[in-house]
Structure 1
Amino acid sequence: MQRLQISGVDLAVEIQGQGQPLIFVHGFPLDHTMWEAQIAEFSRDYHVLAPDLRGFGTSGTGSGIATMERFADDLAELADCLGLSARGIVLCGLSMGGYIAFQFLRKYAALLRGLVLCNTRATADADEVRENRYRLATKVRQEGPEVVVHQMLPKLVSDETRRERPECLDRLETMMRGASWEGIAAAALGMAERPDSSALLATIPCPALVIAGEFDALSPSSEMQAMANAIPGVRFEVIPGAGHMTPMEKPREFNAILRSFLQSLEPRST
């Protein structure tokens, strides 16, 4: 892990490999280790970056609400700091990482060579979901990360994963407990306030891949199919047997899909 000062926050970033830049953006309230199988696979052929977003993992926590735009700005500054901006970035975000990817697209589309959206949605929160995020932020500040473990952990994986790969749940719980209460609350408020990105879908200027889990309870595959339908030339894939955490639950299948997509991209000259 390397540590870099990005926008006044000490960010921890896993950086491995050489070649075209590939940035993995984790979900809420997790850290970069959710991408462990992808880092190991793709760092053989690509310049892989997997940051702990501010407030998560071993990164520092900023002040105020952690908006999706703030996270996107961090990623753009990170790319610039490492001299990657001119090389064309493939950005791969899951769940909250997808929300961040949309804000990156909104502000930094010229930096993108490819976009991978996993288990996420382009729409803003419905009123009920938004209110739940506000309540979660308040409770986490009062009681700590235990609240989010109980609320979210049962929803993250499929029954098949729960049965056959209990270690996946153990790893997710460890990540959640490792997040700071300030980071969890700040990101929950940031997600609640994120704008609707549906209008961006038709304007995505780079090749896009959308990956869903067959049994995802949080971002149903039917909703992700509808999102994908609005993206020109998109590749859409559903991973059988997976829930919300497709890269962890079905790493071999996920990696095969992602590798095929990456190989289809024209590398940007450096």
Structure 2
Amino acid sequence: MKTIQGRFTEINGTKIYYEMKGAGKPLLFIHGLPLDSRMWDDQFYELSKNFKVIRFDLAGYGLSDSHNDDFSLTEDIKELLNNLHIKKTTLVGLSVGGKIAIDFTLTYPNMIESLIVASTGLTGWSKESKEKMEFSDQLNMYYKNGEQSNIIDLLTNTWVTGPYRQIDGLNENTRKRFKEMVTNSFSKERGKGRIKPQENNSIDIIDQIKVPTLIITSEYDFSEFNEIGELLDSKIKNATKVQMKDTAHMMNMEKPNEFNDVIIKFLNGN
């Protein structure tokens, strides 16, 4: 895998790290939390053969600095696109990254060519499964007690392995890469800035998304992520929904070839 020379751009007074490769239709990838843009390694290099692929570290993650003033993730992305002179793009987001992509699409629809979300959250969604609540309770206890190693193990077991299967047989390299990103996140110095809430809950206006939308869910994720996928599929008129089998939340890292094929098929159809 070749090394790409990344760059920094100033966004709302903060240095944000990004990488760009390839030519053609632009695809902007938004990572989940507490990860960084390296989670897209297998998409960045493969899809840049046919598209202009951009990935970046959200403020406070990866190589990006933190904001010291309150900030909007939507406005950060808008400023990034403006700095790169990209007027219209396809957004690709996973987990929190998908949630951010949906929020952005609803806020700036004229800047979006199409939307791809995987294992996505949704602003305004409040329902939690029993398993997800148990995970949250355990995580909060570890945070309260300052048990960093247990936090990292719990996050890895939950998001990479998944709540409904065993670790046996999983690719250890995927777990290793995930742990490295989470560990790096803990080492970052946090700024004073807080994320500004969206003016509207996306769940209430989801039917306003008019662009072609691909929704990808996974077999071994928490049930609410599949329910969100079903809701999006029912509310977005121009939506396509695909479920990937035998994988969990971090499907793009565990099964990159299949994930990439699903994306390429969708993009070539639009």
Which secondary structure does the structure 1 equivalent of 2:49 belong to? coil
- Matched residue, 1:105: 105
Q: Kindly state the Cα deviation for residue 124 of structure 1 after the two structures are TM-superposed.
A: 2.3
1:164 to 170, 181, 186: 170
CA contact (8 A) 1:22 1:46 kept: yes
Which residues of structure 2 form unaligned runs of 5+? Answer: 1-5
Which secondary structure does the structure 2 equivalent of 1:164 belong to? coil
1:149 to 144, 149, 152: 152
2:76 to 74, 83, 96: 74
Relative distance call for 1:30 and 1:185 in structure 2 (3 A) is: farther
Query: What amino acid is the match of 1:5?
Result: E
Structure-2-length-normalised TM-score: 0.83
Query: What amino acid is the match of 1:82?
Result: L
- Matched residue, 1:41: 46
CA contact (8 A) 2:8 2:17 kept: yes
Q: Kindly state the Cα deviation for residue 29 of structure 1 after the two structures are TM-superposed.
A: 0.4
- Matched residue, 2:22: 17
- Matched residue, 2:120: 120
Whole-Å separation in 1 of the counterparts to 2:122 and 2:31: 16
CA contact (8 A) 1:121 1:227 kept: no
Whole-Å separation in 1 of the counterparts to 2:216 and 2:199: 21
Q: Deviations over 1:203-231 (max 9, x none)?
A: 11210000011111275324422332211
Which residues of structure 1 form unaligned runs of 5+? Answer: 266-270
In percent, how many aligned pairs have the same letter?
Answer: 25
Relative distance call for 1:139 and 1:75 in structure 2 (3 A) is: farther
More helix by share: 1
Relative distance call for 1:243 and 1:227 in structure 2 (3 A) is: same
Q: Kindly state the Cα deviation for residue 242 of structure 1 after the two structures are TM-superposed.
A: 1.0
Q: Kindly state the Cα deviation for residue 161 of structure 1 after the two structures are TM-superposed.
A: 6.8
- Matched residue, 2:94: 94
CA contact (8 A) 1:160 1:241 kept: no
How many correspondences in the alignment?
Answer: 258
1:173 to 179, 184, 204: 179
RMSD, aligned CA = 3.3
Which secondary structure does the structure 2 equivalent of 1:212 belong to? strand
1:237 to 235, 242, 248: 242
